[in-house]
């Protein structure tokens, strides 16, 4: 049962009208879908709030009992009526012979919902259309944010069996950490969308007056492109499903992340553009393209130096490949990659360590083993790699799909063998 069908039947479920196979399918979907459970819990919370607020509003606006008695010819001693449930309220609204109750409930629902929405939903940015670039303020917010907000608890994923199709010699040191990282990616895969969502938490994405949480936001580039290769040795079926979804959206290359998989990119790396590809009320599809007319000072950033190192390697210029790798590697200060972004934000990025580890194996360059140990030291209890770590080596925020997928690339022996 799909999410939209489940949500259409919330009322029937509340009324106890779902039976047999319909009830079984409904509850099975709730067990596997965090978003639908969240929506159902929100409705239940709203019911509780209505039970608290409706009597208060009614007491403040109702006419005097004597006036009502004279107007309606009713007995003052009529027994009090209990507050209806949400299901009963909606049913009452459908009954033509009770217009007064319908109007009263309608007003109360509108008032409470308006107050709730105003209190919960932050101010929206200008509306976007599919294919439009994110406004600069959102691009900067997405770039700077510790995805998601620091301190948000991350639920433990359900255990998922992992098939290890990787040489034992590669896995013997970090086998358990790798298995947990794979489980993290699998737990974030949405079979209905065919992609892995970014992370947990509220997220800053506000599009056409709707806020999308990180677990509703799916990035074609870089998250899912990288994950489709990272999962190859462990979960080839999921990797293939992600590739099929990428093919379905039929987007041009990012002009950056493809270099990790053997495709050369322009030598002048451009600044990023974050573009909305698709959306509905349940999900948001995004992609990052490096085709901006504005050049990037890429030599100041550890990850860009690694991308360019691999690019020169693919182009056959081994000298420049080694030079750019050495420049990135020289930024290692014993705790992380101290590049321009790290100095500006006062934090190390986890994906930089993952890229150095992967590029070192592609280029057959021996690196300090502490880099690999530091990378896995950024692993959260849910198995994912944190996006950032502070200069005091404190992990910042929950796990990030991008950093986790890049960390696994170094253990895809077939991919490394395919690289020239």
Same domain, 189 and 104: no
Q: Is 126 part of any domain?
A: no
Q: According to the model, what pLDDT value does residue 191 have?
A: 94
Q: Is 295 part of any domain?
A: yes
Number of domains in the chain: 2
Same domain, 331 and 372: yes
Q: Is 60 part of any domain?
A: yes
Rounded to whole angstroms, the Cα distance separating 260 from 362 reads 10
Q: According to the model, what pLDDT value does residue 94 have?
A: 42
Q: According to the model, what pLDDT value does residue 98 have?
A: 43
Same domain, 112 and 185: no
Structure tokens, 243:
């590739």
Q: What is the CA radius of gyration of the chain?
A: 27
Q: Is 182 part of any domain?
A: yes
Same domain, 67 and 169: no
Q: Is 128 part of any domain?
A: no
Q: According to the model, what pLDDT value does residue 154 have?
A: 36
Rounded to whole angstroms, the Cα distance separating 110 from 114 reads 6
Same domain, 165 and 114: no
Same domain, 296 and 351: yes
Same domain, 164 and 311: yes
Ranges of residues in the chain with a pLDDT under 70 are: 1, 44-173, 200-214
Same domain, 31 and 161: no
Q: In this structure, how many other beta carbons lie within 10 angstroms of the beta carbon of residue 139? A: 16
Q: Is 48 part of any domain?
A: yes
Same domain, 108 and 140: no
Question: What residues have CB less than 8 Å from 234, skipping those under 6 apart?
Answer: 162, 163, 164, 165, 166, 182, 408
Q: Is 272 part of any domain?
A: yes
Q: According to the model, what pLDDT value does residue 243 have?
A: 97
Q: According to the model, what pLDDT value does residue 240 have?
A: 97
Same domain, 78 and 202: no
Q: According to the model, what pLDDT value does residue 99 have?
A: 45
Query: What is the extent of the structural domain holding 225?
Result: 136-144+157-418
Same domain, 167 and 108: no
Same domain, 361 and 245: yes
Structure tokens, 42:
């929100």
Tens digits of per-residue pLDDT, 1-46?
677 777 778 777 777 777 778 888 888 887 777 777 777 777 766 6
- State the pTM of this model: 0.64
Rounded to whole angstroms, the Cα distance separating 133 from 283 reads 17
Q: Is 14 part of any domain?
A: yes
Nearest CA-CA partner of 195 in 121, 127, 284 = 284
Question: What residues have CB less than 8 Å from 139, skipping those under 6 apart?
Answer: 133, 272, 273, 274
């Amino acid at each position: 049962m799909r999410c939209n069908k489940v949500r259409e039947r919330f009322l029937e479920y509340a009324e106890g009208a779902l039976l047999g196979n319909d009830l079984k399918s409904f509850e099975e979907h709730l067990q596997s879908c965090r978003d639908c459970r969240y929506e159902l819990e929100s409705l239940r919370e709203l019911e509780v709030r209505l039970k608290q607020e409706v009597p208060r509003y009614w007491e403040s606006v109702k006419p005097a009992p004597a006036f009502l008695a004279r107007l309606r010819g009713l007995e003052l001693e009529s027994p009090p009526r209990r507050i209806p449930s949400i299901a009963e309220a909606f049913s009452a609204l459908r009954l033509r012979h009770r217009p007064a109750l319908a109007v009263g409930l309608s007003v109360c629902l509108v008032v409470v919902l308006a107050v709730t929405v105003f209190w919960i939903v932050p101010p929206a940015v200008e509306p976007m259309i599919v294919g439009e670039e994110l406004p600069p303020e959102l691009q900067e917010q997405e770039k700077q944010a510790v995805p998601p907000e620091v301190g948000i608890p991350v639920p433990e994923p359900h255990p998922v069996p992992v098939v290890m199709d990787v040489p034992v010699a590669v896995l013997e040191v970090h086998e358990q950490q790798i298995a947990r990282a794979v489980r993290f990616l699998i737990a974030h895969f949405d079979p209905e969308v065919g992609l892995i969502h970014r992370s947990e938490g509220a997220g800053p994405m506000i599009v056409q007056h709707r806020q999308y949480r990180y677990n509703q936001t799916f990035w074609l580039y870089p998250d899912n492109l990288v994950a489709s290769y990272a999962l190859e040795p462990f979960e080839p079926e999921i990797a293939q499903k992600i590739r099929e979804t990428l093919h379905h959206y039929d987007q041009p290359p990012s002009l950056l992340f493809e270099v990790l998989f053997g495709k050369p990119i322009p030598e002048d790396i451009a600044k990023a553009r974050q573009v909305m590809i698709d959306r509905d009320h349940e999900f948001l599809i995004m992609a990052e393209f490096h085709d901006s007319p504005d050049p990037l000072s890429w030599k100041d950033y550890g990850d860009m130096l690694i991308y360019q190192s691999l690019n020169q390697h693919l182009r056959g210029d081994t000298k420049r490949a080694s030079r750019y790798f050495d420049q990135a590697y020289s930024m290692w200060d014993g705790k992380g990659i101290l590049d321009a972004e790290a100095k500006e934000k006062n934090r190390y990025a986890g994906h930089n360590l993952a890229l150095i580890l992967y590029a070192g194996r592609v280029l057959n360059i021996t690196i300090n083993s502490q880099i690999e140990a530091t990378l896995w030291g950024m692993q959260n209890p849910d198995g994912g790699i944190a996006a950032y770590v502070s200069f005091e080596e404190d992990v910042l925020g929950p796990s990030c799909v991008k950093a986790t997928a890049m960390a696994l690339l170094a253990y895809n022996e077939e991919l490394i063998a395919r690289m020239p």
